[in-house]
Amino acid sequence: MRKSFAFLKCKAFIERANDIISIKMATEKLSLKEKIGYGFGDAASSMFWKLFSMYLMFFYTDIFGISAAVVGTMFLITRLWDAAFDPLVGILGDRTETRWGKFRPYLLWVAIPFGLIGILTFSTPSLGVTGKIVYAYVTYSLMMMVYSLINVPYASLMGVMTPDSKERTSLATFRFIFAFGGSFLVLGLFQPLFDKFGTETYKEFSNSKVIELKDSVNKASKIYLWSNTLQAQPSKSPQDSLLFLCAKVTTKSKEAFKCGVFDTKSNEYIWFEFKQNKDTLGLTRDGVSGNIQIRLSDIATNTNLSDLSNLKIAFAINSNTEVKFEKIAIKEIDYKSGTKKAVMVIAVIAVLFFLFTFLWTRERVKPITEKTSLKNDLKDLGKNGPWFILLGAGIAAIFFNSIRDGAAIYYFKYYIQGQNLITINSINITIALSTLYFILGQAANIVGVVLAKPVSDKIGKKNTFMLAMLFATILSIAFYWLDRSNVPLIFVFQVLISINAGIIFPLVWSMYADAADYSEWKTGRRATGLVFSASSMSQKFGWTIGGALAGWLLGYYGFKANVIQSEQAQTGIRMMLSFFPAIGALLGAFFMFIYPLKESFMTKIEGELAERRKK
C-alpha cells in the first residue's frame, strides 16, 4: 500500500514537473535554427508551386500533348476538389497523436511521396489521347492531395510551436522569406537543369569555312554556306525530341534575311525568313545580340531531317545588310526527358527541405485536454467569425496576385510589344523585360515580408494588412495610366505594388494562429489543423478564381493569340494588371477592416489560455 502511494506521489510529481517544463518550453523564445528549419518547409512547397504556376500548363499542352481546353477544365475540377480536401486534412491532423506531436510527423511521412508523385506528374508515358487525359487527372489530383497532406500540417505547426503572437509573426516572416527563396531557386535551377538533361548540341560551326554564293532567285542577295556537314545523329525519335537551328545574331538592319539549311542530297535550300522590321524567335534589331532558335521541323520535312549528315548551315542576306552570326549549332531538345530529370533534382531538394523542417522544429503548445468530436470541431469553426473573415481576406489577396501574374506576359508581349530584351553588359546577360519584371516582383515581395514584423509590431497586424491592401489598390489603379514607353516607371510600380503584396502574407498566416487561439479561448477546444486548413484552401480558391477569370476576361475582350491585338483587347490586358487586381485588394482591405482580433484582445486571450494550461 505504501509502495502504491509512493508510486502515485512520484507519478504526480513527474507529471507536475513535465507540466512546468512544457509551460517553460511554450513561453521560451524560438531559436534562429528553429525559425530557419520552419522556413525550409515553405521553401520546399513553393518550389513545386512555382513549377505548377510557370510550367505545368505548357508541359501538358506542348510536351504531353493534351488540348488546352481539357487542361483548363482539369485544373478547375481538381483544384476545387482539393480545396475541399484541405479541411479534412486539418481534421486528421488535429486527431493525430505521436511522440513527435500532431503535425510534425506529416513532414516525415509525406515528404518522399510528395517528391515521387511530383516526378510522376511531370512524366510522359506512351498513351493514347484518352489515356493521357486519365493519367493527367490521376497524377495531378494525387499531387494536389499530397500537397495538402504536407502543407496543411506544416501551416498548422506554427500554431503549436509557440503561443506568442509576435513570435508567430516572426515565424511567418521566416516562412515567407524562405518561400520566395524557394521560388528564386526554381527560377535559377530549372532552365540550366533542363538544358543539361534535355539538350544536346551536335556541332559548333565557328571554325568551318564559309562559302559565299549568289542567290539565283534574288540577285541582290548573297548566300553564305558553311562547308562542313553534321556527323552526329539524333538520339531520340522525332516524337520525343525536336531539332533546332541556333545562332547568336547581332544586327541593326531592318532588312529581311533568311536562315536555314542546305540539303546536299536533294540539292535544295530550306529557309526560315526573318521579315523586314520584324523581331521574332529571339532576334532584336537594335545592335544587341540575340539568340535565335528555329525549329527545323517547322520548315523541313522528315525526309530532310532523317540524315543530318546531308545538311549544311546556310544564311541568305542582302548585299547592303550587316548581320553577324556566332555560336551556330544544331541542337536536339528532348522536352520529355529534360523536364522529368529537372523535376527529379528539384524533388530531391524539396524532400530534404521538408526533412530539415521535421528535424529542427518542436511542438510546444498543448491544447487543454478534452475529448472532442468532428461535429464539435465543425460547430466551433462555424462560430469562429475571425476564421471566416481571414478566409475571405486570403482569397481576395491571392486573387489579387494571381490575376496580375497571369496577365503580365500578355502585357509585355501585346501592349509593351516585342518582349524586348535588356542586356547587363557587366555580366554579359540578356534578360527579357517580362522576366526582369517577375524577378523584381519576387525581390520586392521579400522586402515586404521582412517589413511585415517591424511594421506590425508598431501599428498592429490588422492595421498593417489593411494599409498594405489600400496602398496596393491605389497603385494598381494608377498602373492603368502608365505609358508603354516608360518601362522604368512600370518597373517602379511593380516594385511598390509587390512590396505591399509581400507584407500581407506573413501577417495572414500569423492571424490564423490567433484564430486558433480565439477558438480555444471561446470554446475550450482547439482544432489548429482545421483552422489552418483555411490558409491552404484560400490559396487554392484564390488561384483557381484568378486563373479562370484571367482566361475568361481575355476571351471577353477579344484576345487572339500571336496577332496584333485590337485596342479593346489591349485595354482589357491593361485592366487585368490594374482595375481587376485593385478590386481584389480593396476586398482584402474591407475584410481586414471588420477583423476583430486586435493586439490588445490577443494579449488578453494569450494570458487566459496560459493560466488554463497550467491547471
Element of type H or E holding 154: helix 129-161
Let me know whether 583 and 606 are in one domain.
Answer: yes
**How much is the pLDDT for 8?**
41
Tell me whether residue 287 is in a domain: yes
Tell me whether residue 415 is in a domain: yes
> Pick from 365, 386, 415: which residue ends a domain?
365
Q: Evaluate if residue 18 carries a pLDDT over 50.
A: no
pTM metric for this prediction: 0.67
Tell me whether residue 110 is in a domain: yes
The count of structural domains within the chain is 3
Most confident of 374-383, 434-443, 579-588: 579-588
Mean pLDDT, all residues of the chain: 77
Tell me whether residue 18 is in a domain: no
- Please return the burial class of 565, using the count of CB atoms within 10 Å of its CB with bins 0-12, 13-18 and 19+: buried
Q: Evaluate if residue 76 carries a pLDDT over 60.
A: yes
Q: What range does the domain containing 254 cover?
A: 200-335
Q: Measured between alpha carbons, how far is 103 from 116 in angstroms, rounded to an integer?
A: 21
Let me know whether 61 and 188 are in one domain.
Answer: yes
Would you place residue 235 in the very low, low, confident or very high pLDDT band (cuts 50, 70, 90)? low
Tell me whether residue 24 is in a domain: no
Q: Measured between alpha carbons, how far is 583 from 397 in angstroms, rounded to an integer?
A: 10
For the record, the C-alpha cell of 106 comes out as: 506529416
Let me know whether 148 and 208 are in one domain.
Answer: no
Residue 540, domain CATH: 1.20.1250.20
Contacts of 343 (CB under 8 A, 6+ apart): 51, 118, 119, 121, 122
Let me know whether 441 and 494 are in one domain.
Answer: yes
DSSP secondary structure string, 96-122? --BTTBSSHHHHHHHHHHHHHHHHHHT
Q: Which residue has the cell 486586435?
A: 598
Q: Enter the DSSP assignment of 286.
A: S
For the record, the C-alpha cell of 575 comes out as: 485592366
Let me know whether 298 and 427 are in one domain.
Answer: no
Q: Measured between alpha carbons, how far is 86 from 535 in angstroms, rounded to an integer?
A: 9
- Please return the burial class of 536, using the count of CB atoms within 10 Å of its CB with bins 0-12, 13-18 and 19+: buried
Let me know whether 187 and 212 are in one domain.
Answer: no
Let me know whether 190 and 207 are in one domain.
Answer: no
Let me know whether 181 and 258 are in one domain.
Answer: no
Tell me whether residue 6 is in a domain: no
How many Cα atoms within 13 Å fall on the side-chain side of residue 212?
Answer: 5
How confident is the model over 190-225, as pLDDT tens digits? 777 877 887 776 655 555 556 666 655 555 567 777
Tell me whether residue 3 is in a domain: no
Q: How far is CA 610 from CA 88, 127, 285, 364, 517, in A?
A: 28, 59, 68, 12, 11
Let me know whether 462 and 528 are in one domain.
Answer: yes
Let me know whether 414 and 563 are in one domain.
Answer: yes
Let me know whether 331 and 341 are in one domain.
Answer: no
How confident is the model over 559-569, as pLDDT tens digits? 665 456 788 88
Q: Evaluate if residue 19 carries a pLDDT over 70.
A: no
Would you place residue 169 in the very low, low, confident or very high pLDDT band (cuts 50, 70, 90)? confident
Let me know whether 404 and 361 are in one domain.
Answer: no
